[in-house]
Amino acid sequence: MKISYDVVIVGGGMVGASVACALGNSSLKVALLDRVPVPAPPEKDYDLRVSAITLAAHTLFENLGAWSGMARRRVSPVREMRVRSGEGSGAIHFNAAEIGEPALAWIIENSVIQAALIERLHQFTNIHSLCPVGITNITLADNGAVVTLNDERTLMAKLLVGADGADSGVRRAAGIETQSLDLHQKGIVATITTEKPHEATARQRFLATGPLAFLPMDEPQTCSIVWSADTARADQLFALDDAAFIHELQNAMGESLGAIQTVSPRAAFPLALSHARAYTAPHLALVGDAAHTVHPLAGQGVNLGFLDAATLAEVLLDATVKHKDIGAHEVLRRYERWRKGNNLAMISITGGFKYLFGNDLPVVSQLRNWGLDLTNAATPVKNFIMRRASGLEGDLPKLAKRVWH
Ligand SMILES: Cc1cc2nc3c(=O)[nH]c(=O)nc-3n(C[C@H](O)[C@H](O)[C@H](O)COP(=O)(O)OP(=O)(O)OC[C@H]3O[C@@H](n4cnc5c(N)ncnc54)[C@H](O)[C@@H]3O)c2cc1C
């Protein structure tokens, strides 16, 4: 059976689901495909995968009508952020009040974000969620894309959106290469409980082996941790039993949260920087990790993907109003031009951070201490960093911009 769509999105993760919601209530007929069912957020424990969500992404979720679905489940504000170098002598402190905001960012479990977005897109009659489903073939032809499913259905689309993550099959089907840099690091994630409350403060420590972040969860004594370390060190940490892991974690983080009391089962992810040589081709657009991955230290990876999603939707809806072909490469190139510079800048910044903060040379270590202290003392510089990292500055798509009344 052949079914025609305007847009077929492959990948119903956080970014693919955002593209679908952003096209909700439009004249476009949209299908969303994923090979797995929507993950249900755990009721008692926390999802090990969490994201620090910028204020721009928060605005996007509000404008998509998905924020209430997240807030109803579990979200945690970050009101302050304390960053220290490994030696502990350089430090910088950010406070949301300094930029007149109630929060610098929000910590939300990935499954909560995804569940709220999928719940929202079910309310749009022009969006069809076909999850879970298997894809057996993807072909890009002159007049559109053809996606063959494992249940006898064939979907024809004017535009195929690849939102299928870092190992994107859509990107491969389109023959688009990526430039990648293996960071030879892994990120270990876990949920911990501590003796003292986190007071809605995110803490990050730049160790010589890689950055360690403590992200505040909604329980006052619970944090999610992301510990990025060189592969050998990460494998060693991962293999420790809970008591030995807690001991290492305590040594690395110090006493600011008192004694670390419990740690959940851990998961580890290899880290790489990657960037697709092109985000678009005729009848094709890549978004999120399918187009780029960054180091998790700045908490920006999926936030870049959310801005891709909002920008692509804006470009497609503009083209629809002007009766242009949404699969035409010149239409899609506007999306690519808009996002590529921003994403590349973030890849470079996080790569540079890794060099500066993951380097044991005495001169580099002195420089980073001075850098953090000087930045901490210079209020305009600090405010600029805060506004930029929170997504309040920059060339934002309309859906991520606040409407001032
Ligand atoms: C340790 C760690 C910590 C991080 N912390 C942060 C953070 O604090 N803030 C932040 O902004 N980012 C963070 N990131 C990055 C963030 O997790 C990713 O950028 C984000 O998950 C990418 O979302 P996505 O929807 O593009 O891709 P994915 O989450 O990879 O989703 C892709 C979807 O496509 C589906 N799919 C794949 N192939 C197919 C196929 N053939 N057919 C059908 N469906 C398919 C998959 O099932 C999946 O649902 C972190 C990453 C790591 C590793």
Domain of residue 253, CATH code: 3.30.9.10
For residues 195 and 255, membership in a common domain is answered with yes
CATH number at residue 45: 3.50.50.60
Cα-to-chain-centroid distance, residue 149: 28
Ligand 1 centroid to Cα of residue 26, in Å, is: 26
Probe ligand 1: pick from 117, 295, 302, 308, max atoms within 8 Å of CB? 302
From the list 265, 188, 263, 267, the residue with the least C-alpha distance to 230 is 188
Distance CA 232, CA 234 (A): 6
For residues 341 and 357, membership in a common domain is answered with yes
Residue 356 has pLDDT above 70, yes or no: no
Instruction: Tell me how far CA of residue 205 lies from CA of 93, 121, 214, 267, in angstroms.
Output: 12, 38, 9, 20
Residue with the smallest CA separation from ligand 1 atom 51 is: 296
Residue with the smallest CA separation from ligand 1 atom 52 is: 296
**Helix (H, G, I), strand (E, B), or coil: what is residue 381?**
helix
For residues 311 and 255, membership in a common domain is answered with no
Residues facing 273 on adjacent strands: 181
For residues 214 and 161, membership in a common domain is answered with no
Interstrand relation of 201-207 and 105-109 (parallel, antiparallel or unpaired):
unpaired
Ligand 1 centroid to Cα of residue 15, in Å, is: 8
Q: What does the pLDDT read at residue 405?
A: 44
Residue with the smallest CA separation from ligand 1 atom 29 is: 13
Q: What does the pLDDT read at residue 139?
A: 97
Residue 364 has pLDDT above 70, yes or no: no
Torsion sign, CA atoms 24, 55, 214, 352:
positive
- The reply to whether 250 falls in a domain is yes
For residues 11 and 58, membership in a common domain is answered with yes
Cα-to-chain-centroid distance, residue 45: 22
- The reply to whether 299 falls in a domain is yes
DSSP string, 28-96: --EEEE-SSPPPPPPSSS--S-EEEEPHHHHHHHHHHT-HHHHHHH--EEE-EEEEEETTSS-EEEEEG
Q: What does the pLDDT read at residue 14?
A: 98
- 302 Cβ inside 6 Å of ligand 1: yes
**Helix (H, G, I), strand (E, B), or coil: what is residue 331?**
helix
Query: H-helix or E-strand containing 236?
Result: helix 231-239
Last residue of a domain, one of 223, 250, 271: 271
Domain count, the chain: 2
Q: What does the pLDDT read at residue 214?
A: 97
Mean pLDDT score, 137-145: 96
Structural contact between residues 88 and 380, judged by C-beta atoms closer than 8 angstroms:
no
Mean pLDDT score, 137-162: 97
Ligand 1 centroid to Cα of residue 359, in Å, is: 28
For residues 225 and 350, membership in a common domain is answered with no
For residues 112 and 53, membership in a common domain is answered with yes
Packed helices 14-22 and 301-321: angle between N→C axes, nearest 10 degrees: 20
Structural contact between residues 122 and 108, judged by C-beta atoms closer than 8 angstroms:
no
Residue with the smallest CA separation from ligand 1 atom 4 is: 296
Distance CA 253, CA 112 (A): 28
CB atoms within 10 A of CB 299: 25
CB atoms within 10 A of CB 161: 31
Ligand 1 centroid to Cα of residue 342, in Å, is: 19
Structure tokens at 212: 């360690």
- 51 Cβ inside 6 Å of ligand 1: yes
For residues 12 and 157, membership in a common domain is answered with yes
Distance CA 240, CA 248 (A): 9
Residue with the smallest CA separation from ligand 1 atom 49 is: 13
Last residue of a domain, one of 271, 302, 317: 271
Interstrand relation of 284-286 and 154-162 (parallel, antiparallel or unpaired):
parallel
How confident is the model over 55-75, as pLDDT tens digits? 999 999 999 999 999 999 999
Q: State the greatest distance between any 2 C-alpha atoms of the chain, in Å, as a whole number.
A: 66
- 224 Cβ inside 6 Å of ligand 1: no
Atom number, ligand 1, closest to the C-alpha of residue 188? 1
For residues 118 and 219, membership in a common domain is answered with no
Which runs of consecutive H residues, i.e. helices, occur in 279-328?
A: 301-321
How confident is the model over 193-214, as pLDDT tens digits? 999 999 999 999 988 888 899 9
How confident is the model over 77-122, as pLDDT tens digits? 999 999 887 766 678 888 999 889 999 999 999 999 999 999 999 9
Atom number, ligand 1, closest to the C-alpha of residue 17? 25
pTM comes to 0.93
Structure tokens at 14: 């956080």
Ligand 1 centroid to Cα of residue 14, in Å, is: 7
For residues 201 and 133, membership in a common domain is answered with no
Distance CA 196, CA 260 (A): 9
Q: What does the pLDDT read at residue 371?
A: 58
- 300 Cβ inside 6 Å of ligand 1: yes
How confident is the model over 283-340, as pLDDT tens digits? 999 999 999 999 887 788 999 999 999 999 999 999 999 999 999 999 999 999 999 9
For residues 396 and 366, membership in a common domain is answered with yes
Residue 261 has pLDDT above 90, yes or no: yes
- 225 Cβ inside 6 Å of ligand 1: no
- 162 Cβ inside 6 Å of ligand 1: no
Range of the domain at 120: 2-77+107-180+272-400
For residues 217 and 123, membership in a common domain is answered with no
Ligand 1 centroid to Cα of residue 88, in Å, is: 32
Distance CA 73, CA 112 (A): 7
- 153 Cβ inside 6 Å of ligand 1: no
